[in-house]
Structure 1
Amino acid sequence: MLREVYETQARLLGPLHPDTLVIQGNLAQWRGQAGDHVGAVVALEDLLATKLGILGPNHPHTLATRGMLAHWRGQSGDPVTAAAELRALYEDLIRLFGPTHPESARTHSSLVHWRSRTQIANVDGDYQQQQGQRSVVVR
């Protein structure tokens, strides 16, 4: 059904319309949740390239797509790349919104998760930093 909505939206508004791109991202998410992690990665890579060209690298939808791509990349068995992508995203979010922004904190939590799956050494330091950020966010 969502595929039909996407096709109708693409036909009426065009395949590059922001609303059409949102549905395309939702399709990729559902694909991953249905167990096709690699398919979700491929779809999100294509979507990210499109969003970078249309919306630019700092648009919230582009940033969200980067996070989704990292998640599904990790789920597909590549936690090292997932952690690297999340690190780059986290740095961009800090630059754009600061460390106490909810999206920065969420991304940092994901980064810690995927780093813990890669045996990267600085997990404890990241965890302590994340806890400090959460206390700032909550206040």
Structure 2
Amino acid sequence: MRVHRLVQHAVRDTPPARAHRGPLVRAAADALPEAWPAEDHHDQALAAALRTNTTALTSHAGDHLWHPDSHDLLGRAGTSLLDAGLHQAATTHWQHLTANAERLLGPDHLDTLTTRTNLAAAHWQAGRIEEAIAIGEQVAADEERILGEDHPETLASRANLATYYQEAGRIEEAIAIEEQVAADRERILGHQHPDTLTTRANLATSYYAAGRIEEAIAIGERVVADRERILGHPHPDTLAAVEVLRRWRAA
């Protein structure tokens, strides 16, 4: 919605609005994700307007979006900023959410771990690799302690950390993590699960970066075959894997 600032102020300043601030805030927060497109690129203008609406809402929401847990809208807006490539705005958003989550939910709450995970991703996308690694290492350790080493979130955080290591040129460390995550995901999720395929594709990329081209090609061929069988040839993930394999074979 777009409403003149004076009208907004007048509405918020009425006694009923002041008396029922919490339910009104949560009602608006429930409505915004309902209007959000499944993928931002389907309607970028709408996504931008919804991010603006979210900012307006959260600026007046106080702590009402944090009980009993963080509202889904907060994460949706942050993901939208990342998808839009607005790295600085995304970093600021996730820093603010992380501070609130730690203050209101505690450092070991699952929502707090999620906000820190996304903060690391924002740093990574902005090219601040060392910051991403520092946060990613702590999140991976905390999730292993709280959730267990086989939990999907723990595996995802370790996979993210491997990506950050690879970006920083720490290839052998990335390979060590990816080999273990690939084995764990295949054991827990099965060899056809999308997360398993993604981890194997990342491992192949790390092998290639380390000069282990034949090993990269062997895994890449398996990833292409599995994605063609599971997702179909026209799927973007399949086509991407085919193109990567073609370049490796040429090398």
TM-score (norm 2): 0.53
Which 4+ stretches in 1 moved above 2 angstroms?
none
**Aligned match for 1:18, one of 105, 110, 121:** 110
**Aligned match for 1:44, one of 136, 141, 144:** 136
Give, as a single letter, the amino acid of the residue that structure 1 aligns with 2:192. T
| RMSD over aligned Cα atoms | 1.3
Q: Which residue of 1 aligns with 2:226?
A: 133
Q: Which residue of 1 aligns with 2:74?
A: none
**Aligned match for 1:83, one of 175, 198, 205:** 175
Q: In 2, Cα distance between the equivalents of 1:21 and 1:5?
A: 11
Number of residue pairs the alignment of both structures matches: 139
Asked if residue 124 in structure 1 is aligned to residue 242 in structure 2, the reply is no
Identity of aligned residues (%): 29
Structure 1 residue runs without a partner (length 5+): none
Query: Conserved in 2, the CA contact under 8 Å of 1:101 and 1:137?
Result: no
Asked if residue 104 in structure 1 is aligned to residue 193 in structure 2, the reply is no
- Shift in Å, 1:63: 0.8
Q: How does 1:45-84 map to 2 (within 5 A)?
A: 45-84=137-176
Query: Conserved in 1, the CA contact under 8 Å of 2:204 and 2:215?
Result: no
- Shift in Å, 1:138: 2.0
Structure 2 residue runs without a partner (length 5+): 1-92, 233-251
Decide which moves more: 73-82 or 16-25: 73-82
Larger RCO (CA under 8 A, 6+ residues apart): 1
SS of equivalent to 2:148: coil
- Shift in Å, 1:103: 0.4
Query: Conserved in 2, the CA contact under 8 Å of 1:38 and 1:73?
Result: no
Query: What are the Cα deviations for residues 70-91 of structure 1, in whole angstroms up to 9, with x where unaligned?
Result: 0000001112221221111000
Q: In 2, Cα distance between the equivalents of 1:55 and 1:15?
A: 14
Q: In 2, Cα distance between the equivalents of 1:86 and 1:80?
A: 10
- Shift in Å, 1:134: 1.4
Q: In 2, Cα distance between the equivalents of 1:20 and 1:74?
A: 25
Q: In 1, Cα distance between the equivalents of 2:107 and 2:217?
A: 44
- Shift in Å, 1:132: 2.2
Query: Conserved in 2, the CA contact under 8 Å of 1:99 and 1:105?
Result: yes
TM-score (norm 1): 0.94
> Which has the greater radius of gyration?
2
Q: In 2, Cα distance between the equivalents of 1:92 and 1:22?
A: 21
Query: Conserved in 1, the CA contact under 8 Å of 2:162 and 2:175?
Result: yes
Q: In 1, Cα distance between the equivalents of 2:101 and 2:217?
A: 46
Q: In 1, Cα distance between the equivalents of 2:136 and 2:156?
A: 11
